[in-house]
Structure 1
Amino acid sequence: MTSLSTLNTLRDPRVGATLDRMFALAEEDDAVYQRSVARMPGGFEPATNQERADASAEIYMPVSERAGRLLYTLVRAVRPATIVEFGTSFGISTLHLAAAVRDNGTGQVITTELSAGKVAAARATFTETGLDDVITVLEGDALETLPRQPALGDGTVDFVLLDGWKDLYLPVLHALEPRLAPGTLVIADDIEFESVQPYLRYVRDPASGYEGVDFPVEDGMEISCRL
Protein backbone atom coordinates (compact mmCIF):
# COMPACT_ATOMS: atom_id res chain seq x y z
CA MET A 1 0.00 0.00 0.00
CA THR A 2 1.36 3.43 -0.93
CA SER A 3 1.99 5.74 2.01
CA LEU A 4 0.38 9.17 1.73
CA SER A 5 3.69 10.74 2.72
CA THR A 6 5.33 9.35 -0.43
CA LEU A 7 2.89 11.36 -2.54
CA ASN A 8 4.24 14.64 -1.12
CA THR A 9 7.93 15.32 -1.59
CA LEU A 10 7.71 18.08 1.03
CA ARG A 11 7.45 15.21 3.52
CA ASP A 12 10.59 13.53 2.22
CA PRO A 13 13.00 13.58 5.22
CA ARG A 14 15.72 15.28 3.16
CA VAL A 15 13.40 18.05 1.99
CA GLY A 16 11.49 18.48 5.25
CA ALA A 17 14.62 18.67 7.41
CA THR A 18 16.24 21.13 5.00
CA LEU A 19 13.20 23.40 5.00
CA ASP A 20 12.97 23.29 8.80
CA ARG A 21 16.64 24.29 9.07
CA MET A 22 16.30 27.10 6.53
CA PHE A 23 13.14 28.54 8.06
CA ALA A 24 14.89 28.54 11.46
CA LEU A 25 17.86 30.42 10.03
CA ALA A 26 15.52 32.88 8.32
CA GLU A 27 14.18 33.94 11.72
CA GLU A 28 17.43 35.90 12.11
CA ASP A 29 16.74 37.93 8.96
CA ASP A 30 15.80 41.15 10.75
CA ALA A 31 19.07 41.26 12.66
CA VAL A 32 21.08 40.33 9.59
CA TYR A 33 19.26 43.00 7.56
CA GLN A 34 20.15 45.70 10.10
CA ARG A 35 23.81 44.73 9.91
CA SER A 36 23.64 44.77 6.11
CA VAL A 37 22.09 48.24 6.01
CA ALA A 38 24.71 49.52 8.43
CA ARG A 39 27.40 48.51 5.94
CA MET A 40 25.76 50.65 3.23
CA PRO A 41 26.18 54.37 4.06
CA GLY A 42 23.57 55.42 1.52
CA GLY A 43 21.10 52.65 2.37
CA PHE A 44 19.45 50.16 0.02
CA GLU A 45 17.32 52.53 -2.04
CA PRO A 46 20.00 54.32 -4.11
CA ALA A 47 22.10 51.16 -4.49
CA THR A 48 22.31 49.21 -7.73
CA ASN A 49 20.62 45.82 -7.95
CA GLN A 50 24.01 44.10 -7.74
CA GLU A 51 25.00 46.14 -4.68
CA ARG A 52 21.72 45.26 -2.99
CA ALA A 53 22.18 41.60 -3.84
CA ASP A 54 25.74 41.58 -2.48
CA ALA A 55 24.65 43.35 0.72
CA SER A 56 21.80 40.85 1.17
CA ALA A 57 23.95 37.78 0.61
CA GLU A 58 23.24 36.44 4.12
CA ILE A 59 19.54 37.33 4.26
CA TYR A 60 17.12 34.49 3.50
CA MET A 61 14.08 36.63 2.58
CA PRO A 62 11.88 33.52 2.32
CA VAL A 63 8.24 32.98 1.61
CA SER A 64 6.37 31.96 4.75
CA GLU A 65 5.64 28.30 5.48
CA ARG A 66 1.96 28.85 4.59
CA ALA A 67 2.93 30.58 1.36
CA GLY A 68 5.23 27.69 0.50
CA ARG A 69 2.42 25.20 0.96
CA LEU A 70 0.17 27.40 -1.16
CA LEU A 71 2.75 27.39 -3.97
CA TYR A 72 3.10 23.62 -3.74
CA THR A 73 -0.68 23.18 -3.88
CA LEU A 74 -1.13 25.51 -6.85
CA VAL A 75 1.60 23.79 -8.87
CA ARG A 76 0.15 20.37 -8.10
CA ALA A 77 -3.27 21.55 -9.30
CA VAL A 78 -2.15 23.47 -12.41
CA ARG A 79 0.56 20.96 -13.49
CA PRO A 80 2.67 23.55 -15.36
CA ALA A 81 5.33 22.39 -17.77
CA THR A 82 7.56 25.43 -17.22
CA ILE A 83 7.77 27.47 -14.01
CA VAL A 84 9.79 30.68 -13.86
CA GLU A 85 10.78 32.06 -10.48
CA PHE A 86 12.27 35.54 -10.14
CA GLY A 87 14.39 35.57 -6.98
CA THR A 88 15.83 32.27 -5.75
CA SER A 89 17.60 33.58 -2.65
CA PHE A 90 18.61 30.44 -0.70
CA GLY A 91 15.92 28.36 -2.41
CA ILE A 92 13.08 27.93 0.10
CA SER A 93 10.34 28.82 -2.38
CA THR A 94 12.18 26.94 -5.13
CA LEU A 95 12.08 23.74 -3.07
CA HIS A 96 8.30 24.02 -2.74
CA LEU A 97 7.91 24.54 -6.49
CA ALA A 98 10.31 21.71 -7.34
CA ALA A 99 8.66 19.32 -4.88
CA ALA A 100 5.36 19.87 -6.65
CA VAL A 101 6.98 19.36 -10.05
CA ARG A 102 8.53 16.10 -8.83
CA ASP A 103 5.17 14.88 -7.53
CA ASN A 104 3.40 15.87 -10.74
CA GLY A 105 5.89 13.74 -12.64
CA THR A 106 6.43 16.46 -15.22
CA GLY A 107 7.74 20.00 -15.53
CA GLN A 108 10.78 22.13 -14.76
CA VAL A 109 11.63 25.12 -12.57
CA ILE A 110 13.78 27.90 -14.00
CA THR A 111 14.84 30.26 -11.23
CA THR A 112 16.98 33.40 -11.19
CA GLU A 113 19.37 34.90 -8.64
CA LEU A 114 21.79 37.83 -8.74
CA SER A 115 23.92 36.90 -5.69
CA ALA A 116 26.70 34.47 -6.62
CA GLY A 117 26.94 33.29 -3.01
CA LYS A 118 23.25 32.48 -2.85
CA VAL A 119 23.41 30.69 -6.20
CA ALA A 120 26.16 28.41 -4.89
CA ALA A 121 24.31 27.74 -1.64
CA ALA A 122 20.99 27.10 -3.41
CA ARG A 123 22.54 24.69 -5.91
CA ALA A 124 24.13 22.73 -3.06
CA THR A 125 20.76 22.56 -1.30
CA PHE A 126 18.97 21.37 -4.43
CA THR A 127 21.54 18.59 -4.84
CA GLU A 128 21.30 17.68 -1.15
CA THR A 129 17.53 17.32 -1.38
CA GLY A 130 17.60 15.38 -4.64
CA LEU A 131 15.63 18.01 -6.56
CA ASP A 132 18.44 19.47 -8.65
CA ASP A 133 17.36 17.53 -11.75
CA VAL A 134 14.14 19.57 -12.08
CA ILE A 135 15.71 22.97 -11.29
CA THR A 136 17.77 25.28 -13.50
CA VAL A 137 19.39 28.21 -11.69
CA LEU A 138 20.22 31.27 -13.78
CA GLU A 139 22.90 33.44 -12.17
CA GLY A 140 22.78 37.15 -12.92
CA ASP A 141 20.25 39.83 -13.84
CA ALA A 142 16.94 38.10 -14.64
CA LEU A 143 16.17 40.64 -17.35
CA GLU A 144 19.32 39.44 -19.12
CA THR A 145 19.43 35.74 -18.23
CA LEU A 146 15.80 34.81 -18.90
CA PRO A 147 15.74 35.92 -22.56
CA ARG A 148 18.93 33.91 -23.16
CA GLN A 149 17.64 30.73 -21.49
CA PRO A 150 17.53 27.95 -24.13
CA ALA A 151 14.98 25.93 -22.13
CA LEU A 152 12.41 28.66 -22.72
CA GLY A 153 13.03 28.78 -26.45
CA ASP A 154 9.85 29.63 -28.31
CA GLY A 155 7.73 27.80 -25.76
CA THR A 156 5.38 29.12 -23.15
CA VAL A 157 5.73 29.81 -19.44
CA ASP A 158 2.88 28.25 -17.48
CA PHE A 159 3.52 29.50 -13.92
CA VAL A 160 5.43 32.53 -12.60
CA LEU A 161 6.57 33.41 -9.09
CA LEU A 162 7.83 36.96 -8.55
CA ASP A 163 9.82 37.20 -5.32
CA GLY A 164 12.98 39.15 -6.14
CA TRP A 165 13.48 42.92 -5.89
CA LYS A 166 9.98 44.36 -5.72
CA ASP A 167 10.59 47.27 -8.10
CA LEU A 168 11.52 44.74 -10.80
CA TYR A 169 8.27 42.74 -10.67
CA LEU A 170 6.71 44.71 -13.49
CA PRO A 171 9.76 44.74 -15.82
CA VAL A 172 10.20 40.98 -15.33
CA LEU A 173 6.51 40.35 -16.01
CA HIS A 174 6.68 42.46 -19.17
CA ALA A 175 9.73 40.47 -20.30
CA LEU A 176 7.83 37.21 -19.81
CA GLU A 177 4.44 38.27 -21.18
CA PRO A 178 5.09 37.20 -24.79
CA ARG A 179 5.51 33.64 -23.45
CA LEU A 180 2.52 33.60 -21.06
CA ALA A 181 -0.19 31.27 -22.28
CA PRO A 182 -3.84 31.89 -21.42
CA GLY A 183 -4.46 30.43 -17.97
CA THR A 184 -0.92 31.05 -16.73
CA LEU A 185 -0.81 31.86 -13.02
CA VAL A 186 1.43 34.75 -11.94
CA ILE A 187 2.12 34.91 -8.20
CA ALA A 188 3.64 38.03 -6.65
CA ASP A 189 4.89 37.87 -3.06
CA ASP A 190 5.15 40.69 -0.49
CA ILE A 191 2.46 42.85 -2.08
CA GLU A 192 2.21 45.08 1.01
CA PHE A 193 5.54 46.65 0.04
CA GLU A 194 5.15 50.13 -1.44
CA SER A 195 7.52 49.25 -4.29
CA VAL A 196 5.07 46.57 -5.52
CA GLN A 197 2.28 49.09 -6.12
CA PRO A 198 3.10 49.81 -9.81
CA TYR A 199 2.93 46.07 -10.47
CA LEU A 200 -0.40 45.76 -8.66
CA ARG A 201 -1.91 48.69 -10.54
CA TYR A 202 -0.94 46.99 -13.77
CA VAL A 203 -2.25 43.48 -13.11
CA ARG A 204 -5.42 44.82 -11.49
CA ASP A 205 -6.24 46.96 -14.53
CA PRO A 206 -8.73 44.94 -16.63
CA ALA A 207 -7.09 46.30 -19.78
CA SER A 208 -3.87 44.44 -18.90
CA GLY A 209 -5.50 41.05 -19.41
CA TYR A 210 -5.40 39.53 -15.92
CA GLU A 211 -7.93 38.50 -13.31
CA GLY A 212 -6.76 37.91 -9.77
CA VAL A 213 -7.12 38.09 -6.04
CA ASP A 214 -4.89 38.94 -3.11
CA PHE A 215 -4.19 36.16 -0.63
CA PRO A 216 -3.47 36.81 3.07
CA VAL A 217 -0.14 35.09 3.77
CA GLU A 218 2.47 37.07 5.73
CA ASP A 219 3.07 40.23 3.62
CA GLY A 220 0.45 39.15 1.12
CA MET A 221 0.43 37.46 -2.26
CA GLU A 222 -1.30 38.48 -5.46
CA ILE A 223 -2.53 35.55 -7.55
CA SER A 224 -3.23 36.63 -11.13
CA CYS A 225 -4.45 34.56 -14.05
CA ARG A 226 -3.42 35.55 -17.56
CA LEU A 227 -6.64 35.76 -19.59
Structure 2
Amino acid sequence: MANTLAKVQAVLDRLFANAANDAWPQSYPADPQGHADALAEIYMPISADGGKLLYSLIRAARPETVVEFGTSFGISTIYLAAAVADNGTGHVYGSEMNDSKREAAQANLKEAGLAEHVTVLPGDARESLKEVPGPIGMVLLDGWKDLCLPVLKLLEPKLTPGALVVADDVTFPTMADYLGYVRDPANGYVSVEFPVEDGMEVSCYTAV
Protein backbone atom coordinates (compact mmCIF):
# COMPACT_ATOMS: atom_id res chain seq x y z
CA MET A 1 0.00 0.00 0.00
CA ALA A 2 1.29 3.44 -0.93
CA ASN A 3 2.47 5.84 1.78
CA THR A 4 3.62 9.06 0.17
CA LEU A 5 4.17 10.67 3.59
CA ALA A 6 7.35 8.68 3.99
CA LYS A 7 8.60 9.97 0.64
CA VAL A 8 7.94 13.63 1.44
CA GLN A 9 9.18 13.63 5.04
CA ALA A 10 12.36 15.55 4.16
CA VAL A 11 10.27 18.36 2.67
CA LEU A 12 7.99 18.42 5.70
CA ASP A 13 10.96 18.42 8.09
CA ARG A 14 12.43 21.45 6.32
CA LEU A 15 9.15 23.34 6.39
CA PHE A 16 8.47 22.56 10.06
CA ALA A 17 12.01 23.70 10.91
CA ASN A 18 11.38 26.99 9.13
CA ALA A 19 8.03 27.36 10.89
CA ALA A 20 9.72 26.99 14.27
CA ASN A 21 11.32 30.39 13.63
CA ASP A 22 8.02 32.21 13.12
CA ALA A 23 8.26 35.72 14.62
CA TRP A 24 4.86 37.35 14.71
CA PRO A 25 4.64 41.15 14.26
CA GLN A 26 3.23 43.10 17.18
CA SER A 27 0.49 44.59 15.01
CA TYR A 28 -0.88 44.33 11.50
CA PRO A 29 -3.74 45.77 9.42
CA ALA A 30 -7.27 44.61 10.14
CA ASP A 31 -8.36 44.24 6.51
CA PRO A 32 -7.93 40.68 5.15
CA GLN A 33 -5.44 41.53 2.38
CA GLY A 34 -3.32 43.77 4.60
CA HIS A 35 -3.42 41.12 7.32
CA ALA A 36 -2.28 38.44 4.88
CA ASP A 37 0.51 40.56 3.42
CA ALA A 38 1.81 41.58 6.87
CA LEU A 39 2.16 37.89 7.76
CA ALA A 40 3.75 36.87 4.47
CA GLU A 41 6.78 35.35 6.23
CA ILE A 42 4.81 33.51 8.92
CA TYR A 43 4.20 29.80 8.35
CA MET A 44 1.37 29.20 10.87
CA PRO A 45 1.50 25.42 10.36
CA ILE A 46 -0.66 22.65 11.64
CA SER A 47 1.09 20.20 13.94
CA ALA A 48 2.70 17.06 12.57
CA ASP A 49 0.16 14.94 14.46
CA GLY A 50 -2.63 17.08 13.00
CA GLY A 51 -1.21 16.42 9.54
CA LYS A 52 -1.18 12.68 10.14
CA LEU A 53 -4.79 12.88 11.30
CA LEU A 54 -5.77 14.68 8.09
CA TYR A 55 -3.92 12.13 5.99
CA SER A 56 -5.64 9.24 7.77
CA LEU A 57 -9.12 10.77 7.47
CA ILE A 58 -8.75 11.29 3.74
CA ARG A 59 -7.37 7.79 3.19
CA ALA A 60 -10.40 6.38 5.01
CA ALA A 61 -13.10 8.66 3.55
CA ARG A 62 -11.69 8.80 -0.01
CA PRO A 63 -13.26 12.18 -0.90
CA GLU A 64 -13.26 13.29 -4.53
CA THR A 65 -12.99 16.97 -3.62
CA VAL A 66 -10.94 18.33 -0.70
CA VAL A 67 -11.05 22.03 0.17
CA GLU A 68 -8.48 23.87 2.28
CA PHE A 69 -9.08 27.37 3.65
CA GLY A 70 -5.65 28.84 4.41
CA THR A 71 -2.84 27.17 2.46
CA SER A 72 0.04 29.37 3.69
CA PHE A 73 3.35 27.66 2.74
CA GLY A 74 1.60 24.37 2.04
CA ILE A 75 2.51 22.18 5.00
CA SER A 76 -1.06 21.03 5.59
CA THR A 77 -1.60 20.87 1.83
CA ILE A 78 1.19 18.31 1.48
CA TYR A 79 -0.60 16.01 3.95
CA LEU A 80 -3.90 16.45 2.08
CA ALA A 81 -2.32 15.90 -1.33
CA ALA A 82 -0.33 12.87 -0.16
CA ALA A 83 -3.56 11.20 0.93
CA VAL A 84 -5.32 12.02 -2.34
CA ALA A 85 -2.34 10.70 -4.29
CA ASP A 86 -2.25 7.47 -2.31
CA ASN A 87 -6.02 7.00 -2.75
CA GLY A 88 -5.56 7.30 -6.48
CA THR A 89 -8.56 9.61 -6.73
CA GLY A 90 -9.61 13.14 -5.82
CA HIS A 91 -8.24 16.68 -5.95
CA VAL A 92 -7.32 19.33 -3.38
CA TYR A 93 -8.41 22.96 -3.80
CA GLY A 94 -6.40 25.30 -1.59
CA SER A 95 -6.81 29.04 -1.01
CA GLU A 96 -4.17 31.65 -0.27
CA MET A 97 -4.57 35.42 -0.38
CA ASN A 98 -0.87 36.37 -0.28
CA ASP A 99 0.86 35.99 -3.66
CA SER A 100 4.32 35.13 -2.33
CA LYS A 101 2.95 32.45 -0.01
CA ARG A 102 0.90 30.94 -2.80
CA GLU A 103 3.97 30.75 -5.04
CA ALA A 104 6.02 29.22 -2.21
CA ALA A 105 3.29 26.66 -1.51
CA GLN A 106 3.21 25.65 -5.16
CA ALA A 107 7.00 25.30 -5.18
CA ASN A 108 6.88 23.14 -2.04
CA LEU A 109 4.18 20.93 -3.54
CA LYS A 110 6.27 20.54 -6.68
CA GLU A 111 9.32 19.59 -4.60
CA ALA A 112 7.18 16.99 -2.84
CA GLY A 113 6.00 15.62 -6.19
CA LEU A 114 2.37 16.45 -5.42
CA ALA A 115 1.65 19.57 -7.46
CA GLU A 116 -0.63 17.78 -9.92
CA HIS A 117 -3.04 16.92 -7.11
CA VAL A 118 -3.59 20.51 -5.92
CA THR A 119 -4.99 23.78 -7.24
CA VAL A 120 -4.18 26.76 -5.00
CA LEU A 121 -6.72 29.50 -5.68
CA PRO A 122 -5.70 33.18 -5.28
CA GLY A 123 -7.58 35.94 -3.50
CA ASP A 124 -10.18 36.06 -0.76
CA ALA A 125 -11.42 32.54 -0.02
CA ARG A 126 -14.95 33.85 0.39
CA GLU A 127 -14.85 34.55 -3.34
CA SER A 128 -12.37 32.04 -4.77
CA LEU A 129 -13.93 28.99 -3.10
CA LYS A 130 -17.31 29.73 -4.66
CA GLU A 131 -15.98 28.16 -7.86
CA VAL A 132 -14.94 24.83 -6.32
CA PRO A 133 -17.02 22.02 -7.79
CA GLY A 134 -19.10 19.83 -5.55
CA PRO A 135 -19.80 17.51 -4.00
CA ILE A 136 -17.17 18.31 -1.36
CA GLY A 137 -16.16 15.41 0.87
CA MET A 138 -13.50 17.00 3.10
CA VAL A 139 -12.80 20.54 4.31
CA LEU A 140 -9.85 21.87 6.30
CA LEU A 141 -10.42 25.28 7.90
CA ASP A 142 -7.08 26.79 8.90
CA GLY A 143 -7.27 30.38 7.70
CA TRP A 144 -8.19 33.49 9.70
CA LYS A 145 -10.23 32.20 12.62
CA ASP A 146 -13.01 34.78 12.39
CA LEU A 147 -13.65 33.64 8.80
CA CYS A 148 -13.86 29.89 9.45
CA LEU A 149 -17.61 29.95 10.07
CA PRO A 150 -18.43 32.15 7.05
CA VAL A 151 -16.29 29.92 4.82
CA LEU A 152 -18.00 26.79 6.17
CA LYS A 153 -21.44 28.28 5.48
CA LEU A 154 -20.28 29.19 1.97
CA LEU A 155 -19.25 25.59 1.28
CA GLU A 156 -22.13 23.92 3.12
CA PRO A 157 -24.52 23.66 0.13
CA LYS A 158 -21.87 21.58 -1.68
CA LEU A 159 -21.02 19.25 1.22
CA THR A 160 -21.88 15.62 0.59
CA PRO A 161 -23.72 13.77 3.40
CA GLY A 162 -21.01 12.38 5.65
CA ALA A 163 -18.46 15.01 4.63
CA LEU A 164 -15.72 15.68 7.17
CA VAL A 165 -14.93 19.22 8.27
CA VAL A 166 -11.73 19.76 10.28
CA ALA A 167 -10.93 23.08 11.94
CA ASP A 168 -7.49 23.80 13.42
CA ASP A 169 -6.60 25.94 16.47
CA VAL A 170 -9.98 25.49 18.13
CA THR A 171 -8.55 26.46 21.52
CA PHE A 172 -8.33 30.06 20.25
CA PRO A 173 -11.07 32.33 21.67
CA THR A 174 -11.85 33.55 18.15
CA MET A 175 -13.15 30.06 17.30
CA ALA A 176 -16.01 30.24 19.83
CA ASP A 177 -18.73 31.06 17.28
CA TYR A 178 -17.53 28.33 14.96
CA LEU A 179 -17.53 25.73 17.72
CA GLY A 180 -20.97 26.81 18.88
CA TYR A 181 -22.26 26.23 15.36
CA VAL A 182 -20.79 22.78 14.63
CA ARG A 183 -21.51 21.49 18.14
CA ASP A 184 -25.22 22.31 17.84
CA PRO A 185 -26.90 19.20 16.32
CA ALA A 186 -29.60 21.43 14.85
CA ASN A 187 -27.02 22.66 12.32
CA GLY A 188 -26.38 19.18 10.98
CA TYR A 189 -23.06 18.11 12.46
CA VAL A 190 -21.70 15.49 14.84
CA SER A 191 -18.55 17.09 16.22
CA VAL A 192 -15.68 16.18 18.51
CA GLU A 193 -12.42 17.87 19.50
CA PHE A 194 -9.22 15.98 18.76
CA PRO A 195 -6.36 16.63 21.23
CA VAL A 196 -3.48 17.79 19.05
CA GLU A 197 -1.53 21.03 19.44
CA ASP A 198 -4.02 23.96 19.76
CA GLY A 199 -6.84 21.50 19.15
CA MET A 200 -8.64 20.25 16.05
CA GLU A 201 -12.41 19.93 15.75
CA VAL A 202 -13.54 17.03 13.56
CA SER A 203 -17.14 17.39 12.41
CA CYS A 204 -19.22 15.01 10.30
CA TYR A 205 -21.91 16.67 8.19
CA THR A 206 -25.18 14.77 8.59
CA ALA A 207 -27.12 16.95 6.12
CA VAL A 208 -30.22 17.62 8.21
Tell me what 2:110 maps to.
127
- The structure number with the bigger radius of gyration is 1
Tell me what 2:196 maps to.
217
Query: 1:143 & 1:210 partners in 2: Cα distance?
Result: 21
**Superposed displacement of residue 206, structure 1:** 1.2
**Superposed displacement of residue 148, structure 1:** 2.9
- Name the Cα RMSD after superposition: 1.0
Tell me what 2:177 maps to.
198
**Superposed displacement of residue 141, structure 1:** 0.2
- Which ranges of structure 1 fall in alignment gaps of 5 or more residues? 38-42
- Secondary structure (helix, strand or coil) at the match of 1:146 reads helix
**Superposed displacement of residue 68, structure 1:** 0.5
Tell me what 2:94 maps to.
111
Tell me what 1:40 maps to.
none
TM-score under structure 1 length normalisation? 0.89
1:1-227 → structure 2 map (5 Å cutoff): 7-12=2-7, 15-29=8-22, 32-33=23-24, 36-37=25-26, 43-44=27-28, 47-149=30-132, 152=133, 155-227=134-206
- Secondary structure (helix, strand or coil) at the match of 2:196 reads coil
- Which ranges of structure 2 fall in alignment gaps of 5 or more residues? none
- Percent sequence identity over aligned pairs: 58
For residue 11 of structure 2, what is the amino acid of its counterpart? T
Runs of 4+, deviation exceeding 2 Å: none
For residue 18 of structure 2, what is the amino acid of its counterpart? L
**Superposed displacement of residue 144, structure 1:** 0.7
Query: 1:141 & 1:160 partners in 2: Cα distance?
Result: 17
Query: 2:130 & 2:56 partners in 1: Cα distance?
Result: 28
Query: 1:212 & 1:102 partners in 2: Cα distance?
Result: 27
Query: 1:190 & 1:215 partners in 2: Cα distance?
Result: 11
TM-score under structure 2 length normalisation? 0.97
